Every structure is written in C-alpha cells, then in structure tokens.
Structure 1
Amino acid sequence: MDGHSGKRRAWHRLTAAERTALTESGYVRVWSPGEILALQGSPPSSMFVILRGWVKITATNYRGDDAPLAARGPAEIVGELAPISGLPRTATIQAMDEVQALVIPRDRLMAVLRRRPRISEELLRTAAIRLQQSDRLRLESGGPDFSQRLAAVLLELALQYDPDWAAATSLPLNVTQEDLASYARVSRSTLIRGLDELKKHGVVHTARHRITILRPDLLRDLAAGTTTSDDP
C-alpha cells in the first residue's frame, strides 16, 4: 500500500489472520481515474479495501445535487454498510486517481463475518468514527466567521485523510476546490477568497486537485479562533 496507510486505518486494525481471511475471500481489481466502483442506489454486491489510490464518496440529494461526503485512501475499508444491511447503496464511490482495491463479494463477506465476529466489531467501529467525523464536519461548516470555518473544515478533512497526521507536518489533501466549497457550504468564489487569504499568510498551497496544509500550527489557531487571518 502507498502513503498515508497509517496504523489507525480500518484495515490495519484487523489482525493478520483476519486480513488473510478477507483477502482469500476476494479478488483485486484496478479502476482508472473517474471510474465508478459502486453507484448510489445499486445492489449491495461487495465491500472494498483500498490498496492503492484514492476514492471520492458522494451522494445525490433530493434536488439532484452531488455532495461530497469523504475521500478515502490506502488501508481504508469502504462500501461496507450496504452489504451488511442488504439495502441499496446510499452513496457513490468513484476513483480519484488510479485505484487498486480488494473486492469482497457480499456472500463471501457475510461468511467471513460469521466465522470471525471481531471483524464485524471493527467495521461497526469504523462506521461510528465516520459518523462522528461527518457530524463534526457539518458543525464546523456552520460557523459565522468564514476564515475560522474554512480552517476548521480543512483540519477535519486532514484527520479524515490521515488519522496519524502529526500536527507539525504539512499534509496534501486530494480535494478539488469544488468539493471543498461543498464541504464548507459556500460558493466557489467565496472559497477562493478564503483560500487566497490563507495562502497570503503561508497557511496553505493550492494546485490542481490538491490543497496542501503548510502551517498546521497557524491553521489550528485560526480554527480555534485564537488568531485572525490578519496576523503575520
């Protein structure tokens, strides 16, 4: 697996024997950038373990708008809830770059879970962690001061991208400005003004499909409201 495969990611919380049981029950497939791994509303046919690359998880609301929910990288388990519940998928999983993933068909997954119930516990833990992250992201995006909101959203996304992220290190986020605007619940023009302010103070760097946090310390201060974007 490639970078950011930290020990706190779902796959690494399983024992070697549990990972082997899942690996032997599935097969590896590769998707090109932009290809769909699973479509919202489709049958719950399989679970995925990301081995290489990144996927974006989105959902279409009642107005027909696509809203980003998360991005997941190496050593993350995705699409696990639908096979367990037996209900249609509630989100779309799409490759952001070339993605290699372990695909575990639903019938084989359920057989493994019956033999190894601790895997079910870890999948439930993963779902609970992600629900908490999603709730925090919604809360952070609702504050009155946009600089503080944007800083808080970037910090929350950073922890989703890399659970082992050290506060002193820079971190690239594989996120487009369009998606970040959706996370922050603002227009793209408003987002660009906010990013320009952060860039002016050396907090972030932006590039195509990537935003890099350069000054986590200052970003944390902004998110906490203990400094302002006018500070040097």
Structure 2
Amino acid sequence: MGLFGEHQAFLEKLGEADRLALLRLGRPRDYEPQEELLSEGESGTFVLVILSGWCTVWRATERGRLILALRQAGELVGEMAALDGRARSATVSALDTVRALAVPGDRFRHFMAARPFVSGLVMAQLTERLRSADDQRSSLASATVLERLAACLVELADRAGREERGAVVIRLPLSQHEIAAAIGATREAVAKALRLLREQGLVHTGPKTITVADLEPLRLLGGAPSPARRGRRSAR
C-alpha cells in the first residue's frame, strides 16, 4: 500500500553530533489525539521532527479523508514547504499523544546546507515517499477492497507489528474509519472484509489491536513481496 516510507527513520540515520545539533534548533510541542500538527493549504515553513507517537498524513477528497501515510517517532513532516516555500500539501494529525520538535524552516535549510550528507538523506526520503505514493495510487486503481486491506495489514505487520505466540500483533490507535481512509474504501466495506478474514481465522480484532494469525495468505492476497522484516520486533 505504501503507507510507510523509508525503513529507517530520519533521526536514526544521523550521527550523534548531527542529531544533537538538529534537536537544538527547535522547541518541543505536544499534541493531543486527533489534533492537527499541520493543515493542508496553510502557509508556514517550519519542519516537525516527531519525537514520540504516531501521525496520519491525509488529504480531503469529495468522498472524505484519504490517508496518504503513517509517520512515527524519528520522522520528518512538513519538510516540503520548508524547501519550496509553498502551502502545505497535506494535513498531519496526531493518532495518539504526540510530541514533536518544531524547527524553523530557515534553520532547517541552513542545517542541510552545512551538511551534504543530511541533504542527501532528505532527498532520498522524498524519493522514497514519492515511490510509496505511486504504489498507493496503483493499488487504489487496480485492487479490490479485500486485496487492499490485506496489503495494508501486511505492511502494518511488517513495519509496526510484534511477534507474540506465533502471531503478529499490531497495536496502533487506528479505527476502522482510519483503515478505510488508508485504503480508499468505506467503513462498511472494511468491516465486511475484516469479517471475511476473521471467518477464515487469518485475523483477530480487538480495541486498537489487530492480531494476524498467518501472514502468508494475506501476503498472497495483497500481492505483497516477501518482507525484509526490518520493522518488526519480537516480544520479550
């Protein structure tokens, strides 16, 4: 589906000195669940570095929200406006309680200019996110709701799941409405597709939790390649 971009967050790619230098450039801000960090169409060039929590990146359409991506701790949002000076291209909302570092756009540009390695990281990140957006558009145009849901669950499991007792548990504050917005479907269609997957014993659902009992059938259904498994951790 392309909800996630790069496998390793921006902050994790920085050396300690560069990371500390960036953290000194801004000030922290706290956001409540569902609060907007950035709004589509607004002016402003500051960059946010997510320090904790999860965010959705979305755009408004005639049919409601379309979630373009999920962002987590260590990732940048708002960097495009800092680089081109244009209005925000999407809205970023907190899924849960979020803390982020707000860095003025001019400071962020100077930080990049003084560090060619950092400039390369930002360009690589933008390229990866563009590829993810292309994948999402392709899926919306050609796949069924069930196929898109399967691909979404596989991506969430590979990137944010934890292996527990032979299954993969996804604990994210995503409602069925938000899953529907992420795959370009209605809530009713997602509920029906989830029911089919539950009846087959492939998934189990609970409050803010989805447990995937067997990833391989979902991988085949969603047309997802075998994972590098970089984003998943085992429970201890």
Q: Bigger shift: 175-184 or 193-202?
A: 175-184
Query: Deviation digits for residues 161-187 of structure 1, max 9, x if unmatched?
Result: 54x988x86141442211222333332
1:9 is matched with which residue?
9
Distance in 2 (CA, whole Å) between partners of 1:57 and 1:210 is 21
SS where residue 151 of structure 1 aligns? helix
Superposition pairs of residues 122-133 of structure 1, within 5 angstroms: 122-133=121-132
Q: Percent of aligned positions with the same letter in both sequences?
A: 31
Give the corresponding residue for 2:57: 57
Could you say if the C-alpha distance between residues 216 and 80 of structure 1 is closer, same or farther in structure 2, counting changes exceeding 3 Å?
Answer: same
Q: Distance in 2 between matches of 1:79 and 1:158?
A: 26
Give, in angstroms, the shift of residue 91 of structure 1. Answer: 0.8
* Distance apart, 1:106 and its partner CA: 0.9
Alpha-carbon shift at residue 150 of structure 1 (Å):
2.2
- For 2:83 and 2:167, the matched residues in 1 are separated by 37
* Residue number in structure 2 paired with 1:180: 179
Secondary structure of residue in 1 paired with 2:218: helix
Counterpart CA distance in 2 for 1:87 and 1:125 is: 20
Q: Is the contact made by 1:175 and 1:211 (CA closer than 8 Å) also made in structure 2? A: no
State the one-letter code of the partner of 1:189. Answer: E
Which ranges of structure 2 fall in alignment gaps of 5 or more residues? 1-5, 225-236
Aligned to 1:101: 100
Give the aligned length.
Answer: 216
**Corresponding residue for residue 3 of structure 1:** none
Aligned AA for 2:10?
A
TM-score, structure 2 normalization? 0.80
**Residues 146, 99 of structure 1: alpha-carbon distance in 2 compared, 3 angstrom cutoff:** closer
Deviation at 1:136, TM superposition (A): 1.3
1:181-220 map, 5 Å: 181-220=180-219
Q: Write the distance in 2 (CA, Å) between the matches of 1:9 and 1:101.
A: 14
* Structure 1, gaps ≥5 residues long: 1-5, 226-232
For 1:86, the equivalent position in structure 2 comes to 85
